[in-house]
Amino acid sequence: MHKHNNLKKWLCGAAIVGGSCLYLSQHSEFFTKTQEKDDSAQTITVPDRPEDAKKLIGYSMTDAFKYGVINSISDYVEQAPYKVDTTNFAGDFQNQVIEFGYYAEINGRKTVVLTHINPDTLSIPEASPFVKKMICKFAEFHNSQNERATILAHEFAHQATDPDKKIGSDIQLSQKTDRSIFEYNMTAEEFELICNHDEMRGRINGLLYKREQYKKYGKSSVFNGDYSFYGRALRSGKIDPFSTDPQEIANEQLFCVKSIREQYEREHIEHYEKYTIDRLSAEHVAFDPRKPDEYHKALDQVYTFIWDGQLVNMNFYSNGQLPELRLTDNEYDVAKAKDISDSSKCMPKNPKNIMSAALLLSKKDQSR
């Protein structure tokens, strides 16, 4: 979900877009947009397109591309349905937290929701003309086509890793995504890591949407706010999104993932602590030591992106190019306690298996 909890910073001139994920929303109005006329990342082979693949719009961006329904992130953002909520903003810098967008289950269906900001200057007649102007500017910026599309790219990325199976039940495709990343066999610690990786996925997808826009229109100013680092690298010559050299492409992909990860650890991870712990409590199924650990499968799903007309795996964690994300202390403590509790409930009766399961959890703990 896209979250802004430091509105004062924006009004001082630093227009920042953040992100996170909610489960509930209220007072949503349905809205459908009108459709308009080695260790490098690995390209993923795509199947032929059958007729019912069209139904993937609104189900999964990754699958829609895989089956030829769309050719880019931009295509999906322009075609996929979503809902709109309206939030009044009257300049309550200290207390109001705005969810710019989120992916939630509403009336039994998982849906992407975009927030429209209404500048509520009428409720603050005592405010100065300058403050009222800044409130209007804030709303104008957030409601702009570019920012709305970037937020949608972020939220549709979550939809692809946690698709709505009810919507997809009538889509008969052999390689259609049929598992949420939150359903894989993982320890509690790995589950919390996946929650954080999925948030970084949304941010990366937002960046790749802006990258597509830059390649189409040539305006580096599109890389603003949290994505300004890419614009600086572009202008300095560190990266070249038009390059066809395989090594330069691999370097750019690693740069995108690494930069978002560093920013997330530095500025955002603590803001998602409660979300991660709450989701662990609500959805995590105890790790089964008798079955393979599927954490790296989940990472592959998280880090699969549309890149220049190809589907690529940008999971630089499983191959060791990037070190694992570090959870907050609270996240780690909660996960460790749940893993210990879960292991005591489902330990196999065979003493040898008990020893193996205990050793596995011990090794995962030592890897921190």
Both ends of the chain: CA-CA distance in Å?
A: 27
pLDDT (0 to 100) of residue 260: 98
Q: What are the pLDDT digits (tens) for 134-174?
A: 999 999 999 999 999 999 999 999 999 999 999 999 999 98
For residue 307, which of 46, 8, 25, 21 has the smallest C-alpha distance? 46
pLDDT tens-digit map of 204-241: 999 999 999 999 999 999 999 999 999 999 999 999 99
What is the predicted pLDDT for the residue at 362? 52
Can you give the pTM of this predicted structure?
Answer: 0.83
Map out the domains of the chain as residue ranges: 2-181, 191-366
pLDDT at 47: 73
Query: CA-CA distance, 264 to 325, in Å (whole number)?
Result: 10
Under 8 Å between Cβ of 110 and 163: yes
Residue 195 near residue 279 (C-beta atoms within 8 A): yes
How high is the pLDDT of residue 354? 45
Q: Does residue 179 contact residue 294 with C-beta atoms inside 8 Å?
A: no
How many C-beta atoms surround the C-beta of residue 345 within 10 A?
A: 7
Q: Which residues of the chain have pLDDT under 70?
A: 1-41, 44-46, 93, 346-368
Q: Give me the pLDDT at residue 26, please.
A: 29
The string of DSSP letters for 105-117 reads EETTEEEEEEEEE
Q: Which residue has 């305006």 as its token pair?
A: 219
Residues across the chain: 368
Q: What is the pLDDT of residue 344?
A: 83
Q: Do 85 and 28 contact (CB within 8 A), yes or no? A: yes
